[in-house]
Amino acid sequence: MNIKEILKTMDYGTAPESQTTAQDWLQQSPFGHFINNQWLKGSNHFNSVNPASGETLAQISQADKAMINKAVKAAEQATPKWQALSGHDRAKYLYALARLIQKNSRILSVLETLDNGKPIRESRDIDIPLAARHFYHHAGWAQLLDSELPDHQALGVVGQVIPWNFPFLMLAWKIAPAIATGNTVVLKPAEQTSLTALYFAELCQQANLPEGVVNIVTGDGRVGEAIVNHKDIQKIAFTGSTAVGRKIRQATAGSGKKLSLELGGKSAFIVCEDADLDAAVEGVVDAIWFNQGEVCCAGSRLLIQESVAERFEQKLQERMSKLRIGDPLDKSTDVGAIINKEQHQKITDMVNTGVKQGARILQSPCELPKAGYFYPPTLLADVAPGDLVVQEEIFGPVLVGMTFRTPAEAVALANNSRYGLAATIWSENINLALHLAPQMQAGVVWINCANQFDAAAGFGGVKESGFGREGGFEGLFEYLKPGDDFIAKKASQKSAKASGKRTATDAMDRTTKMYIGGKQVRPDGGYSYPVLDAKGNTLTQAGLGNRKDVRNAVEAAANSGQWSKMTAYQRQQVMYFLAENLNLRIDEFIDRLKDFGHSASAAKKEVELSIERLNYYAAWCDKFDGRVHAVPMRAVAMAMHEPIGVIGIACPAENPLLSFVSLMAPALAMGNRVVMLADEAFPLPALDLYQVLNTSDVPAGTVNILSGRHEDMLKTLAGHLNLDALWYFGDQAGATLVEQESALNLKRTWTHIEPKDWCSKQAQGKTFLRMSVEVKNIWTPYGE
Ligand code: NAI
C-alpha cells in the first residue's frame, strides 16, 4: 500500500515491537534456579510457550526438594546481615533495583509480552513502570522504617508464590515490601510465565544485592506446595486462585506462619444513570478488556441503571467493534492472547454455559489470528444474579451484564458474591458515589476510573478474595511483627479448660446465663458445667454453649448493624459510658476476681485496668483513622478504616475480665460486632458484664457472650460463613483448628498460643486496632 492509499482508508498499519534483544537473551535457555546470587543448574525442564503463537520460548526447570531446601537455607543465612543493615543501606539496594528495571524496561516489556500474551502497550506502559515504582516506593519505606515503625521487626524468610497474569508486576509487589522491611525471599513464579523473574535475577546480580536476599526457584504447583510447607519459612504471600488459596490456608494452619492471600474476584462495575456514559464505556474497556480480562480485580459484572441500559449497551457495542485483537507485540493491539489452551477452554466452556442458561451474547466482530489462543471481547447480557457466569470468575475478556433500578438495588447486587476484591462506581454525583463506596464489600473501590494501581495505595480483598494488603503503609504490616509481644513470664494461674462434668437441666436455676442479641439466654442444649472457685469448690453453674448457641450469637451479631453504622463519636460516648458503669460496680467485679484466686490488690488492679482500657479504646474511636495516599495521578486514594464486621473472639485463660475487655474494646471501638467466648474455666466476670452492657446503650446484638468449652464451639465459629474474622487465644490444637476451619470462607484469623501478660502496656495499642479494621482504598480522580 502506498501512502496515498493508506491516507484514503485510514487503516491501521502493523507496528510490531522488535523481539531481537529478547530472543538473544533467551538463547541461554535451558534455565536453572537463582540461589545465593548464583545460577544453579536445573533439571526436569519443561517448555515456556508464547501463547500468541504456540512457539516454545525457553526451557524452565522444575525445582526438586533439594533445590528448594538450598534456596530456603540461602535465605535463612542471609537474614541476620540483611536485617542488621540500616534502613538507608537497604534502601540503596531497592533504589538500584528500581533504576535497573527502568534501564531494562524495553527488554522486560518484550519478554513479558512474549511469555504472557499481553499487549506490549500494557507491559510497556503499565506492568514494567509500575514494577519500578514499587521498588522506588519501598526503597523509601526501608529508609523510613526505623523512624515510622520502630517497634516492629522483620519476620525472617518469606515464601512467595505468584500467578501468570502479571508475572513481573506481581514479583515487584511481593519482593519490594518484603526486602524493604528486612526479610529475605524465596519466590516462585508461575510455571507458564517465569521469564521476567529470571531476568530480574540478573538485575539482582547487577545491583550487587547481598547473597541469599532474593532467591528464585521455578516449577509448577508442586514447587509452590513445597515452599508453603517448608518448616523454615516464616511467612507465605500468595496470589492466585481461590481454590489454591484455600489449600494454602489449610496447609499452613497451626504452623505459626504468617499468611497473606490475594485471590479471585468477580468485581461489580456500577453505571448510575447520571454517569458520563462515554467515559464509563472507556472504563469498561479498562475494567474487563485490559490484560484480556485475566485480572483478579477485573470489573467483570456490569450493573447498569435501567433508565440508561439500552443507550449504554449501544455505545458499548460500538466500542467493542473497534477493539483490535491480535499480535501482542503490535503496539496498536488492544487485546492479546489468552495464557494457554486450558484457560481458553475454560473461558469457552463458561460462555457456552452462560448462553445455555439464557444469556444474550454480544462479541467483538473481529477476525482472530489462526495460531495462538485468542478470545474475542464478549458481553453476556440479560443474565440472572444466580447464574454460574455471574457468580464464578471467568478470568477472560467476558463481561456479564445486569440492570438495577435504585442505588440500593445496585449495592445488593454488587455484594451478592462470595468474592470481595474491587468495585467500580460510575456517577457524576460525587455524593452518590461516596454514599455507595463504603457500602461495597470490597477492598478497593474505583470511582469514575477502573483498574488503577499504585505502590502507595494498598490492594487486597475481603471475603473469599483473601486477606492482607499489598502496597501502601497498610501493606508493610504483612511483612512485620510487633517487636514487643506481651508474653507472660510466668504461666497463668488457672487451667485453660472448663473443669467438672456437665450437668443436666436440674441445675438450671443456678446457672449463670449467656448473653445473645441483648438478652440473657439459657444454653440451647440445656447443659451446664460447674464453675469452681480458687479452692476447687463449685461457685455456680455456667451454660455449656453448643453449635446452636454459636449460630444464634453469630446471627444476632450479623443482623444488628446499628453499632457499625454509628459515628466514631457516638461509639466513643457509649464506650465512655461503659467504662463509667463498670466503675460503678467495681466492688462486685473485685469480689468475683477474688473467687478466681486473685488477692484483693490483684483483683482491684485488674478491674481498674479494665476500666482504663475501655477509656483507652474509647479515646481511639475517632483517632485511628485512615490516610489519603499520594498516588501519581490526579486522584485521591482514600485508605479508609472500616469495621471488619462480625468478629469472633475466643478469650484466654489469663485475667478473665481484663483479657476479655482488652479484646472486646478495640473491636468495638472500630465499629465491629463481637461474639465472645468467655474464659472457659472462669467465665463469670465476662458473663456479669451483660448488666454493664445493658445499662450503657450498647445496641442489642453488638456484644454476645457465650460460655462453655471452646473446643465444642470453635469449629462452628471458625466455619460460620457470617463470621468475618476470628481471634483465638488458647492452645496449639485450638489455633490449628481455627486456621483450618476458617478456610471455608477465608475469614481473617489472629491466633496466639503463648500465655500473655494482660496487665502490661503492650496488651493494648495499635496492633489491636489494626486487627479490628479492613483498609478500603477508594480512588477518586479530580480535575477537569
Ligand atoms: P493457580 O492458583 O493454580 O496458580 C497460581 C500459582 O500458584 C502458580 O505459581 C502455581 O504454580 C501455584 N500453585 C498451584 N498449586 C499450588 C499449591 N497447591 N500450593 C502452592 N502453590 C500452588 O492458578 P492457575 O491454575 O494458574 O489458574 C486457575 C484459575 O485461577 C484461573 O482460571 C483463574 O480463574 C484463577 N487465577 C486467579 C488469579 C488471581 O490473580 N486472582 C491469578 C491466576 C489464576
* pLDDT of res. 500: 57
- Cα 241 to ligand 1 centroid, rounded to whole Å: 5
- Cα 298 to ligand 1 centroid, rounded to whole Å: 16
* pLDDT of res. 495: 46
Task: Name the residue of 244, 259, 398 whose CB sits within 8 Å of the most ligand 1 atoms, as the mutation to test its pocket.
Answer: 244
List pLDDT tens digits, range 230-263: 999 999 999 999 999 999 999 999 999 999 999 9
Ligand 1 atom 30: residue of nearest CA: 241
List pLDDT tens digits, range 352-378: 999 999 999 999 998 899 999 999 999
* pLDDT of res. 488: 86
Any residues with Cβ below 6 Å from ligand 1, and which?
Answer: 161-165, 188, 190-191, 220-221, 224-225, 228, 239-241, 244, 247-248, 263-264, 296, 343, 346, 393, 395
* pLDDT of res. 612: 98
Under the banding of pLDDT at 50, 70 and 90, the label for residue 511 is confident
Contact 439, 408 (CB under 8 A): no
Residue 626 has pLDDT above 90, yes or no: yes
Ligand 1 atom 36: residue of nearest CA: 241
Summarize the confidence of residues 648-671 as an average pLDDT: 97
- Cα 290 to ligand 1 centroid, rounded to whole Å: 19
Ligand 1 atom 14: residue of nearest CA: 221
Please identify, by atom number, the ligand 1 atom nearest to the C-alpha of residue 161. Answer: 9
What does the mean pLDDT of the chain come to? 95
Ligand 1 atom 12: residue of nearest CA: 221
Ligand 1 atom 28: residue of nearest CA: 241
List pLDDT tens digits, range 387-411: 999 999 999 999 999 999 999 999 9
Residue 35 has pLDDT above 50, yes or no: yes
237: amino acid identity, one letter: A
- Pick the closest to residue 180 from 258, 105, 262, 82 (CA basis): 82
List pLDDT tens digits, range 256-304: 999 999 999 999 999 999 999 999 999 999 999 999 999 999 999 999 9
Summarize the confidence of residues 670-687 as an average pLDDT: 96
* pLDDT of res. 84: 97
Annotation marks residue 262 as catalytic: yes
Summarize the confidence of residues 309-314 as an average pLDDT: 98
Please identify, by atom number, the ligand 1 atom nearest to the C-alpha of residue 164. Answer: 43
Please identify, by atom number, the ligand 1 atom nearest to the C-alpha of residue 263. Answer: 41
Under the banding of pLDDT at 50, 70 and 90, the label for residue 17 is very high
Residue 40 has pLDDT above 70, yes or no: yes
Other residues' Cβ atoms within 10 Å of the Cβ of residue 376: 18
Please identify, by atom number, the ligand 1 atom nearest to the C-alpha of residue 295. Answer: 40
- Cα 751 to ligand 1 centroid, rounded to whole Å: 27
- Where b means 16+ CB within 10 Å and e means fewer, 470-489 reads bbbbbbbbbbbbbeeebebe
Residue 492 has pLDDT above 80, yes or no: no
Q: 17, 225, 262, 393: which is the annotated catalytic residue?
A: 262
Strands 267-271 and 299-305: parallel
Largest CA distance in the chain: 103
ipTM of this complex prediction, to 2 decimal places: 0.97
* pLDDT of res. 484: 75
Please identify, by atom number, the ligand 1 atom nearest to the C-alpha of residue 247. Answer: 18
Task: Name the residue of 60, 161, 453 whose CB sits within 8 Å of the most ligand 1 atoms, as the mutation to test its pocket.
Answer: 161
- Cα 15 to ligand 1 centroid, rounded to whole Å: 33
- Cα 388 to ligand 1 centroid, rounded to whole Å: 20
Q: Residue 335: helix, strand or coil by DSSP?
A: strand
Strands 725-729 and 646-650: parallel
Summarize the confidence of residues 648-676 as an average pLDDT: 97
| Planar angle of CA 96, 100, 104, nearest 5 degrees | 175
Ligand 1 atom 13: residue of nearest CA: 221
Residue 689 has pLDDT above 90, yes or no: yes
Other residues' Cβ atoms within 10 Å of the Cβ of residue 342: 11
Q: Establish whether the linkage from the previous residue to 385 is cis, with ω within 30° of 0.
A: no
Please identify, by atom number, the ligand 1 atom nearest to the C-alpha of residue 239. Answer: 40
- Cα 296 to ligand 1 centroid, rounded to whole Å: 11
Please identify, by atom number, the ligand 1 atom nearest to the C-alpha of residue 228. Answer: 20
- Cα 194 to ligand 1 centroid, rounded to whole Å: 14
DSSP letter assigned to residue 453 = -
Please identify, by atom number, the ligand 1 atom nearest to the C-alpha of residue 245. Answer: 2
pLDDT > 70: percent of the chain: 97
List pLDDT tens digits, range 432-458: 999 999 999 999 999 999 999 999 999
- Integer angstrom CA distances of residue 695 from 508, 575, 580: 25, 12, 10
Where is average pLDDT lowest: 387-391, 421-425, 752-756? 752-756
- Cα 373 to ligand 1 centroid, rounded to whole Å: 19
- Cα 72 to ligand 1 centroid, rounded to whole Å: 22
* pLDDT of res. 501: 64
Ligand 1 atom 21: residue of nearest CA: 224
Calculate the dihedral angle through the C-alpha atoms of 604, 606, 610, 613, rounding to the nearest 10 degrees: 110
Ligand 1 atom 34: residue of nearest CA: 395
Contact 732, 753 (CB under 8 A): yes
Under the banding of pLDDT at 50, 70 and 90, the label for residue 491 is low
C-alpha cell at 193: 510465565
Q: Classify the C-alpha dihedral 245-473-285-195 as positive or negative.
A: negative
Residue 8 has pLDDT above 90, yes or no: no
* pLDDT of res. 490: 66
- Cα 223 to ligand 1 centroid, rounded to whole Å: 12
Task: Name the residue of 171, 241, 453 whose CB sits within 8 Å of the most ligand 1 atoms, as the mutation to test its pocket.
Answer: 241
Ligand 1 atom 27: residue of nearest CA: 241
